[in-house]
Amino acid sequence: MKNGKRDVGSLSDEELMLRVKGGCSASFEELVRRHRRCVLNIAYKFTADENSAEDIAQEVFCRIWEHRKTYTPTAKFSTFLYRVTTNFCISEYRSYKRRQEVHIEMRDDETTYFDLPSKEEIPYVEMEKTELAAKVKSAIASLPESQRIALILCKYENLPYSQIAEVMGTTVEAVKSLLVRAKATLRERFSRILKEK
């Protein structure tokens, strides 16, 4: 058993995924171990909510298991993983918004799950350690979905434009444009701080 684990640990992500494709749960466990932090933090940056980020990250891995047979070795595992993660974040966010529209009258009693802030009202600000961190958090959360994803992948995952484009199913030029617009919005949000500096 120990030898088996050591063996799994020395394999690349792509090799592990090929084993997962064949139903190997030990290889899958190793992939979860390697990438849980990354997936969790993408979900966290996207949702701005720690609890929902944990649920989403777990669900992302379950989806990868369910769709393991669709993985092709031509694609980098990380690209596949980022794609599943961002798609799942977006679909969860959209379904949350739909629920929000249906149950609009119940809003006062709901928790902050996907409670993305409007520019005026930021419910989780007081929970943050510093004012600046809270402002950054709310500013990112207020960005449109695609700009938010592009920014998270670029800034926090350090992905090159080409890989972001592959993850988002778009072109490099479109990614650059998304980032320019995201930064313009942030510049607007941080204009007061920038003036002070």
**What does the binding site for other proteins look like in residue numbers (CB under 8 A)?**
25, 28-29, 32-33, 36-37, 40-41, 44-45, 50, 53-54, 57-58, 61-62, 65-66, 129-130, 132-133, 136-137, 140, 151, 154-156, 158, 160-161, 176, 179-180, 183, 186-187, 190, 193-194, 197
Half-sphere exposure of 55 (CA within 13 A, CB side): 11
For 32, 73, 117, the CA distances from 82, given in Å and listed in that order, are: 13, 15, 25
Question: Minimum CB separation from other proteins for residue 92, in Å?
Answer: 16
Of 106 and 133, the one with the shorter C-beta distance to other proteins is 133
For the bound state, the minimum distance from the C-beta of residue 102 to other proteins, rounded and expressed in Å, comes to 27
Nearest distance from C-beta of residue 134 to other proteins, angstroms: 9
Tell me which long-range contacts 15-23 makes (C-beta under 8 A, separation of at least 24): 16/77, 17/68, 17/71, 17/73, 17/77, 17/80, 18/71, 18/73, 20/64, 20/65, 20/68, 20/71, 21/68, 21/69, 21/71
* Residue nearer to other proteins on the CB measure, 9 or 98: 9
Q: How far is the CB of 94 from other proteins (least distance, A)?
A: 22
Phi (first) and psi of residue 92, to 5 degrees: -65, -40
Q: Which is nearer to other proteins, 122 or 186 (CB)?
A: 186
